[in-house]
Structure 1
């Protein structure tokens, strides 16, 4: 058995401090509703995103699996401070990304410099979809949100048509994402059809 590496206690304490701060994601609620009718947390969202990335491993081809999972884990860490902005309220140029990055930097402040730099760099990579792994992570994220809309115990006024355009440019950037999109859109169309008033013309 290899001898355990002795790590600086201050480094270990700094990492644990960060882990405790990130625990807030358990109580950071999103607009998505679970199948039981309660609000989904950001932590739950990130967990299921990681599960998706893991389960499609065979279909991914030549990618850095560890980086993909890291991107999925860190992509919403900044929400621990300012919370989530619902997908239906996000608009280009609203400053949301800059705020979330600033929150991430603040959250990572207790970490040792190397880990702080790694996490922020991963977030930047995800935000700009600057690598094949980031393209996948962002596409999976959009699909996961759409799937939550489909499985959630939503109110009677929920507009499933939102799903049909949501994240389209991201899910079109990889064949696997595009193939999954077809399946998710098919289910969304069924929900839209169910919402149509009796006798209404359906396109």
Structure 2
């Protein structure tokens, strides 16, 4: 009987997580981006980026599996509270309180596995490990990469500049710094090319 109850809770958890496949990221909705990414899409690409850590670009020997776990957990609370941004009229303290409560609810549904997820969430929120700091870099980098993809799709250079301004100088890991530099370069080239073609 206990196993049946446990499975019932796990199914409830999985249905909650499933919401993330359909909830659009608030920042893009506010900017009127059509067919914008979902929260799950954002976390998925972050997770994939952890596989790009190699012996050559990971001199501090970050635990890649831990980075992956944090990437997949960091926005998990949003399956209950939604994607809260500074534009939502919710203070940072209230946002943190709501997300913490949501993660506790998730932990209760999944037992020991949930305790692990809650610990990883707190590690990320408090930035208490090199892996959590790397995941923060991934979070910011995926955001500006997505912004650039939308600018190219809509042929609208600099349309989403606010997302770049919010992240300039905040990347810490050398690997992500290098990716950011390449992205800035391509974005400048895109702007010049668009201006030359007279599309703006």
Give TM-score, length-normalised by structure 2.
Answer: 0.77
1:138 aligns to 2:133 (yes or no): no
Contact 2:16-2:80 within 8 A present in 1 as well? no
Contact 1:70-1:122 within 8 A present in 2 as well? yes
Contact 1:146-1:163 within 8 A present in 2 as well? yes
Q: Distance in 1 between matches of 2:79 and 2:132?
A: 21
Contact 2:20-2:40 within 8 A present in 1 as well? yes
Q: Distance in 2 between matches of 1:190 and 1:79?
A: 36
Residue 45 of structure 1 is matched in structure 2 by 42
Structure 1 residues without counterparts, runs of 5 or longer: 1-6, 197-203
Residue 128 of structure 1 is matched in structure 2 by 126
Once the two structures are superposed, what CA deviation does each residue of 1:44-68 show, in whole Å capped at 9, x if it has no partner?
A: 1111111111123442241212111
SS at match of 2:110: coil
1:19 aligns to 2:19 (yes or no): no
Select the structure that is richer in helix. Answer: 2
Residue 102 of structure 1 is matched in structure 2 by 101
Structure 2 residues without counterparts, runs of 5 or longer: 196-200
Contact 2:158-2:191 within 8 A present in 1 as well? no
- Aligned-residue Cα RMSD (Å) equals 3.3
SS at match of 2:109: coil
Higher relative contact order (CA 8 A, sep 6+): 1
Q: Distance in 2 between matches of 1:162 and 1:101?
A: 28
SS at match of 2:51: helix
Distance 1:161 1:107, change over 3 A: same
Contact 1:67-1:133 within 8 A present in 2 as well? yes
Distance 1:194 1:123, change over 3 A: farther
Contact 1:25-1:79 within 8 A present in 2 as well? yes
Contact 1:143-1:181 within 8 A present in 2 as well? yes
SS at match of 1:110: helix
Residue 164 of structure 2 is matched in structure 1 by 164
Q: Distance in 1 between matches of 2:53 and 2:130?
A: 15
Q: Distance in 2 between matches of 1:40 and 1:182?
A: 23
